[in-house]
Structure formats: structure tokens, C-alpha cells
Amino acid sequence: MQQLAQTLADRIDQDAMLANATAWSAVNTGTANLAGLAVQAQLLADAFAALPGTIELVEPAPVTAIDSAGHEVEKAHGQHMVLRVRPAAERRFLFTGHMDTVFPADHSFQGQTWLDEETLNGPGLADMKGGLAVILHSLAAFETLPEAQRVGYDVLVNADEETGSLSSSALIEQLAQGKYAALTYEPSALPDGTLAHARGGSGNYSLTVTGKSAHAGRNPLDGRNAIVAAATLAVRLKDLQRDDISVNPAKIEGGAANNVVPDHAILRFNIRPKAPDAAERFINEMNALLGEVKQSQEVDIAVHGGITRPPKPVGARAQKLFDLVRDCGAVLGQEIGWQPSGGVCDGNNIAATGVPVVDTMGVRGGKIHSPDEFMIVPSLSERAALSALVLSQLASGDAL
């Protein structure tokens, strides 16, 4: 394997990878910036056209949200890029990444700055424009091997990962079906290249509370205070937190003038279950609580949202994939370890389909989701060589 590793490493162009990453980072792709996402999607389609197969820009699935008035409104998203290579192959893989970032079009963080000769600061360089370059160049190197012709793969680059992949979750599930293994290109969990192992899940909810307005001085007892009900829910939901699930009431909206009993409020909150049974228990307890508050405070409560990222335990086949990544790293002189993560990503959704996945195959870097985000530039070619070698082993024999 040593000779193969060297061959693949020699076929990866670090300068070309950096040029891709920096060009893509220069395009603002905040999840709501549909114009920027359209530019990025076309740039990616042009770049990935160097690989065999067919490219499609897929329309986002409809997504709704609750606005501050409590109305359900449609939320627009960008197109997702899908590359399909050798769809008739018996053994196929899935590679996923995302083109969106957390920095909106009007954010001050738009440029790139060299921090030292190996470290580049810039929006989305680590999370995950650099990772997209790793996907492209690792697959280009893999395609030079004879075993590439025996397998196929799909590449998905979605436009909404940073907000939960709501418009692409069905597409992720569809593309994962029947795949032998999957790799996702979030940045490493630590700057030293450590991978994220097991992950908890995530769910986002909006509770719309409808009470009854009244004059706060003349007839307050005729009113039903939606703000009080929402506050009660926030406190009681927090009480449902356990060692295996966190509950974060995040925002209460609504209310009225000081002399009016408010008839409208929205409570928004997030949960982070560590295991599927914790999520199921919470939902049952939440529904019981909603019924209790409805009855005791004589309000109506509408629920919007749910679990968007299922918990991601690591089963036997997934552990074999982690072991393979570690062993390939050792051949390349890269020490690869892993640790559990409280964060979530598209790897959660892939794992829920039963496909083994390692979801931090992207560049080494850090301080993501902040203006201090950085990418360790040599990790572009390091991680591309690692992915190409892992794929060569998955393509031949029964690695998992």
C-alpha cells in the first residue's frame, strides 16, 4: 500500500486545490444568499465536470418556518449540486459536502488573510470550501487507478447544511440508499486532524401560543396571557433536560402594549439528544406538557419543527471505516484519531440510513463560524491523498 499511497499523493496538485478553495471562499454563500449560492453552484458544476458522470443542479425541497407573527411561511433555499458517476456499478459510494456558510451577504467577514506561511484565514475555508476541493481532487486522483472503473459514486454538495439541511434531507436519504460507504467533508474536529466519532442529534421547534387579549387594568382576568404560557413552557421544557439530552429554550417573541394582556407568543428551542431513545422520551414528555399547559392556562399551542439530525452512534461497520481511515493515514504518515462530538452535520442523516460514514474528512483548521476561521493549507493535499487511498481500499476487497 505504501507505493500506492505515494502514487496517489504525487497525483494531487496542492496549488490547484488552494486556487479552488480561495476562489470559492471569495463567493459569499450565506445560506440565505440565493444569488451567491447560484454563482457557487455553477462554479462547482464547472469544476466537477472534470470527473466522469453527469451533473445536475437539483431544486430544493419546500421548507416552511414560523415567522414572528406565528404564520407558517415558505423559506427559500439554493440549488444542490449532484454528480453521478457509474450509476450501474455494483459497489457505489456517497461523498457529501456543503456550499453554504454562516456568513450572510452583509457580514464584514468577506476576505482572506495569511496568518503565517501555512495558515489562511477566510470565510468558509475550513467549513467547507477547502473540503469541497478535497472531494474534487481526491476523486480525480482515484479516477487514475484501474479499480475506479469497477465502482461508482454520487457526490452531493448541498446549499443548506448550516441551517439543518431541511431542503436537502430527502435528497441525502435518497442518494444514501444502497451505498457501501460514505465520506463527508466537514473540517476535522481538531486542528491536528482528529475526526468526529459518535454524534448526538438535534431538533428545532417553534411553539406558537395563542391566548386571549384583554385590558390589563379593567378586566385582566378575562385575558389568557400567551407570554406567561410561553415562559411557563420554557421553564418546564428546560426541566426535561437529562444527562442524555440537553434542552435550550432560545427565544420568546410576541407580546403587546403594557396595558394589554398578550394573546400571542412564540417559543423557539433546540434539543440535543445523545441517543434515539432520549429523543423519543422527550417527544412523549413534551406532548404531555403541552396538553397540561393548554388545559391549565386555557391557551392553544401549535407545534412546528422536530428532529432534523438523528443521533449518530457508531456501529461495527462504521467503526471498521474509522479504522480503515486511521490505517490509511498511518501509511501516509498522518496520525488519525477520533473523539465524540456534540455537533451535528449531514453525517447524522447518512448514518440514519444504515450506511457507514466518516464525516470529518475535510481540511484541518479551526475557529469555524467566526471571523477567525482558518485553514491549514498543507492539509488540502494531505486530506485528498487520505481520501483517495481510503477509496482505493474500499473499491477492492471486503474492507467493511
Phi, psi of 195 (to 5 degrees): -90, 150
pTM comes to 0.95
Contact indicator for 38, 100 with CB cutoff of 8 Å? no
Long-range contacts of 42-45 (CB under 8 A, 24+ apart): 44/81, 44/99, 44/132, 44/157, 45/81
Per residue in 248-301, pLDDT (tens digit) is: 999 999 998 999 999 999 999 999 999 999 999 999 999 999 999 999 999 999
User: Is the Cβ–Cβ distance between 232 and 297 less than 8 Å?
Assistant: yes
| Helices 379-395/2-10 angle, 10° precision | 130
Q: What is the pLDDT of residue 290?
A: 98
Domains of the chain plus CATH, in order, are 2-64+74-200+312-395 (3.40.630.10), 202-309 (3.30.70.360)
Confidence of residue 400 (pLDDT cuts 50, 70, 90): confident
Model confidence pLDDT, tens digit, residues 108-142: 999 999 999 999 999 999 999 999 999 999 999 99
Report the mean per-residue pLDDT for the chain. 97
* Contact status, residue 383 vs residue 363, Cβ threshold 8 Å: yes
Element (H, E) at 65: strand 64-66
Contacts of 344 (CB under 8 A, 6+ apart): 199, 200, 201, 202, 309, 312
Extract the C-alpha cell encoding 253: 417573541
Cα separations in angstroms, 149 against 143, 178, 234, 338: 8, 18, 56, 31
Residue 396: band (very low, low, confident or very high) from pLDDT cuts 50, 70, 90: confident
Measured from the Cβ of residue 360, the count of other Cβ atoms closer than 10 Å reads 28
CB 82 within 8 A of CB 155: yes
The predicted-structure confidence for 170-202, as pLDDT tens digits, reads as follows 999 999 999 999 999 999 999 999 999 999 999
pLDDT at 397 exceeding the cut of 90: no
CA Rg value for the chain = 23
Report residue 209 as a C-alpha cell: 401560543
